[in-house]
Copies of this chain bind each other. A is one copy, B any other.
Amino acid sequence: MADALKIGIAGLGTVGASLVRILQDRREMLATTCGRAIEITAVTARDRSKDRGVDLSNATWFEDAVSLAANADIDVFIELMGGSGDPAYAAVKTALGRGIHVVTANKALLAAHGIELAAIAENKGALLNYEAAVAGGIPVIKALRESMTGNTISRVYGIMNGTCNYILTKMEKEGLSFEACLKEAQRLGYAEADPAFDIEGNDTAHKLSILTSLAFGTAIAADDIYLEGITNISIDDINAAADLGYRIKLLGVAQRTESGIEQRVHPTMVPYDSVIAQVDGVTNAVAIESDILGELLMVGPGAGGNATASAVLGDVADIAKSRPGAQHVPAFGRPTNALLPYKRAQIQSHEGGYFIRLKVVDRTGVFASIASRMAENGISLESIMQHSKHPKESDEPQTIILVTHATAEHSVRDAIVAIKSEGYLVGEPQVIRIERPKAA
């Protein structure tokens, strides 16, 4: 059997502690599978004295991640600290600079510095593995980076934030408000005390930017993402969606278009009988559409100590099974010098179906006026519904719901500006994009 693989772990939070426990409990099983033992020889964490229920007496403790990365006698540096800046950034750079393989679960770091880190890894013949950074236990990085080699990807999209999916699912199933469901998510530990990063879509955007690079062979462009969170989704939207045969999910979508690559994160209506519509609660799902393989959808746990540790372990095992310097696996699918330039397609040029919910004063001619403004902007309607509660004009505003056929976003925006100028709108219109899976 080959020499043991020596690993150093920086960060012993939920994921780190899970990983240590698994490596210790399954030592023999892993050695059999990998053809060599995996030994934790170095660790660092904020609090050394904390009882994590794991035995680390054989590992050398380092004061900080950078000194571990710089000095430890290790084959693999495992970064589980999080955050796009130092110490994670400096530590990963230091390890790769020594030619040490890196495994990380840090989406923020990759979104900000992924390509720079990939270039260092390539130069030094080191691997940069990050399965755990996107959609937790779902092996989407491996699917894109390895299984789908040779495929041209047209679209990748998914439910990549468990907090949002939990809230949207709970709103639908129990008829509760966004605020009530957010509170429940916080109580259960699915949402942070400050939930903005999840519910505004930033977390999904980080993950999406990594998938975009892998899918399209472009540089990472985490700041070029159209972003809309779920805070404006009301139970009325969810009920109206259900009536029309849709469910609302927060999707991250990256799509190849004629004008460039669209990256967008927003609440999305998906057909009720599509597979992804059935993905409930904190579960994640990622779909990849390509020209050779076709559509692949993967569903699984997107977070949690064990699921994330499983993904980290898979990355470590890949290194254990290979032999030092034996593989050519560019971190983002192609060598960094062969990455394509990223050209952003603006959201205004997005083409798709739209759900539009308007509150209007109850006045004769409003319905006709709305239909006219849509027609003038070349928007073809799949359906238009008015739930009029009163036979005659009343003081209560009426709700009108439109569903469009595929149309350009700028047309929808222009039509809404025109409708607004008519003076019969009450409050802001609600606009939700519709996304249709290619296959069922």
Q: Using a CB–CB distance below 8 Å, which chain A residues touch chain B?
A: 2, 18, 22, 26, 29-30, 32-36, 131, 137-139, 142-143, 146-151, 273-275, 277-281, 283, 290-301, 304, 306-307, 309-311, 313-314, 317-318, 321-323, 326-330, 333-335, 338, 439-440
Contacts and interface: CB of A to CB of B under 8 A. Distances in A.
A134 B172 CA distance: 37
Given A281-B440, A283-B440, A150 B328 contact: no
13 contacts: A2-B328, A32-B335, A35-B328, A137-B296, A139-B146, A147-B311, A150-B310, A150-B313, A151-B310, A290-B310, A292-B307, A296-B300, A323-B326
Contacts of A323: 326-328
B301 A295 contact: yes
A349 to B, nearest CB: 26
B322 A327 contact: yes
Nearest to A292: B310
A313 B439 CA distance: 22
A361 B145 CA distance: 61
Contacts of A151: 310
Contacts of A35: 328, 330, 335
A293 B310 contact: yes
A137 B313 contact: no
B147 A139 contact: yes
Given A278-B275, A295-B300, A326 B334 contact: no
A328 B34 CA distance: 7
A283 B131 contact: no
Nearest to A329: B321
A299 B279 CA distance: 13
A105 to B, nearest CB: 14
Contact of A306 (B32, B278, B292): B292
Contacts of A318: 146
A313 B440 CA distance: 25
A343 to B, nearest CB: 18
A273 B147 CA distance: 29
A294 B327 CA distance: 29
Nearest to A35: B328
A297 B296 contact: no
A398 B291 CA distance: 52
